[in-house]
Amino acid sequence: MSRIPPEACETMAEVRAGVDSIDRALVTLLAERMRFMDAAARIKPGRNMVRDEPRKAQVIANAQREAEALGLDPALVGQLWEQLVEASIAHETIMWDRLRAQGDDNARD
């Protein structure tokens, strides 16, 4: 379903429909982002490599630059991306452990 642009909304129903559509798209993108974290967990040889502070800073700075270019508050985006990246690191750590535990289980068979 196509949504009307925010500037054309005349009712709260139209605003809410637009927000709901954006939220569905964001969740779809988050699911895809987490699949990339799954891939990182599979590829990284050491658990200590999951947390990469220089890369975290780069990702947040990239998002803030993009926000600024779009007229969005970079500080707000920085806060959101801080949470997003930390959630991604937590997910990747869980997946890294899970993948290695499965390997251990297979080694015992």
Q: Where are the domains of the chain?
A: 6-108
Question: Is the torsion defined by CA of 78, 63, 26, 88 positive or negative?
Answer: negative
Q: pTM of the entire structure?
A: 0.87
Return the pLDDT at 3.
85
Closest to 89 (Cα-Cα) out of 31, 22, 54, 40: 40
Taking only the tens of pLDDT, the chain with its 109 residues reads 578 999 999 999 999 999 999 999 999 999 999 999 999 999 999 999 999 999 999 999 999 999 999 999 999 999 999 999 999 999 999 999 999 998 665 544 4
Q: Is 28 helix (H, G, I), strand (E, B) or coil?
A: helix
Return the pLDDT at 102.
81
Closest to 100 (Cα-Cα) out of 49, 36, 34: 49
**Residue 82 · residue 60 · CB < 8 Å:** yes
Structure tokens at 24: 């569905």
Question: Is the torsion defined by CA of 101, 39, 58, 79 positive or negative?
Answer: negative
Fold of 6-108: Chorismate Mutase Domain, subunit A (1.20.59)
**Residue 40 · residue 91 · CB < 8 Å:** no
Return the pLDDT at 78.
98
What is the largest distance, in Å, between two alpha-carbon atoms of the chain?
64
Return the pLDDT at 14.
96
